């Protein structure tokens, strides 16, 4: 398995992974390092960064390096400083994996305007800012690959995620524009839309999820971060724009071809869930 991964990742010499201290981002960093890529992990929590570096270094292939940089990806100044340092020390990366994201589920009437602004800041601007920080260097070199992380909730609006889903929809839109503008310049763009994934963030979500959402989610398959990371790397290897791990592929196809049917299915699921709740 490891030998196969080394061959697979020869085309990713140096990757920056934002949000790489936990969840899907950390799983990506581990697979990248194991496969022979050098990796720079960017996150805001210093303790988690140090722990992630230790874990990634333990599996890295010979000749690869692991670097860390502390930065809040919603802070343009911090990201610029972190990326400037990484580039000065290690050169321009070949790939940028944007894996920052957070959901704060709840009923729509419980959210404040600030909640919407914060969700957009974290999930959308937390993707835009790192991308814009590296983009001039990719353009100057004439190559690079930006890999953004959206969600299945970025193409299907899900009850309880009124702040999160729109931000993830925006990530897909941003990625589409990037692809069209950057392809003539030799720069690739991908966006991954994983379904429910077993991460620390998902565990926190479950504490706040509306009951209807919990009931509906029981029917879906919960993916492990490693499975999502592997699917993302497979998509990157193939140059796939829209990467759909697990059940996301079926969901996307249904939404694209039969949007009315998808709405009726969701309506029926919600009706059954509310009946179970006694509503």
Longest Cα separation, the chain? 61
What's the Cα-to-Cα distance from 114 to each of 73, 93, 117, 205, rounded to whole Å?
A: 18, 35, 5, 18
- CA–CA distance, 171 with 125 (Å, rounded to integer): 9
Candidate list 60, 151, 161, 164, residue with the active-site label: 164
Contact residues for 279 (Cβ-Cβ < 8 A; gap 6+): none
Rg of the chain over CA atoms, in angstroms?
19
Q: Alpha carbon of 86 to those of 65, 116, 213: distances in Å?
A: 12, 32, 41
Q: Is 168 a catalytic residue?
A: yes
| Candidate list 168, 188, 209, 217, residue with the active-site label | 168
190 is catalytic: no
Catalytic residue among 37, 150, 190, 248: 150
| Strands 66-70 and 95-98, sheet pairing | unpaired
Q: Angle at CA 83, nearest 5°, toward 127 and 45?
A: 70
Which residue, 145, 49, 148, 164, is CA-closest to 98? 148
Cα distance between residue 227 and residue 28, in whole Å:
10
Any idea which residues carry the catalytic annotation? 150, 164, 168
């Amino acid at each position: 398995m490891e030998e196969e991964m080394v061959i697979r990742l020869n085309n990713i010499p140096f990757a920056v992974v934002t949000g790489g201290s936990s969840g899907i981002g950390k799983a990506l960093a581990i697979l990248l390092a194991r496969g022979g890529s050098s990796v720079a992990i960017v996150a805001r929590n210093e303790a988690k960064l140090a722990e992630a570096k230790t874990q990634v270094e333990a599996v890295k292939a010979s000749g690869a390096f692991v670097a860390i940089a502390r930065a809040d990806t919603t802070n343009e100044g911090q990201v610029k400083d972190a990326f400037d340092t990484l580039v000065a020390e290690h050169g321009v990366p070949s790939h940028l994996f944007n894996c920052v994201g957070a959901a704060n589920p709840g009923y729509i009437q419980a959210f404040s305007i600030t909640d919407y602004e914060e969700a957009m800041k974290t999930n959308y601007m937390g993707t835009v800012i790192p991308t814009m920080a590296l983009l001039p260097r990719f353009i100057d070199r004439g190559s690079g690959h930006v890999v953004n992380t959206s969600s299945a909730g970025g193409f299907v609006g899900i009850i309880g995620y009124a702040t999160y889903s729109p931000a993830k929809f925006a990530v897909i839109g941003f990625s589409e524009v990037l692809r069209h503008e950057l392809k003539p310049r030799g720069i690739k763009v991908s966006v991954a839309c994983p379904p429910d994934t077993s991460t620390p963030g998902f565990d926190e979500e479950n504490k706040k999820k509306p009951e209807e959402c919990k009931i509906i989610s029981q029917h879906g398959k919960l993916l492990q971060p490693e499975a999502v990371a592997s699917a993302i790397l497979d998509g990157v290897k193939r140059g796939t724009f829209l990467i759909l791990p697990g059940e996301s592929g079926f969901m996307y196809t249904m939404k694209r071809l039969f949007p009315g049917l998808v709405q009726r299915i969701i309506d029926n699921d919600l009706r059954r869930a509310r009946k179970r709740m006694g509503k």
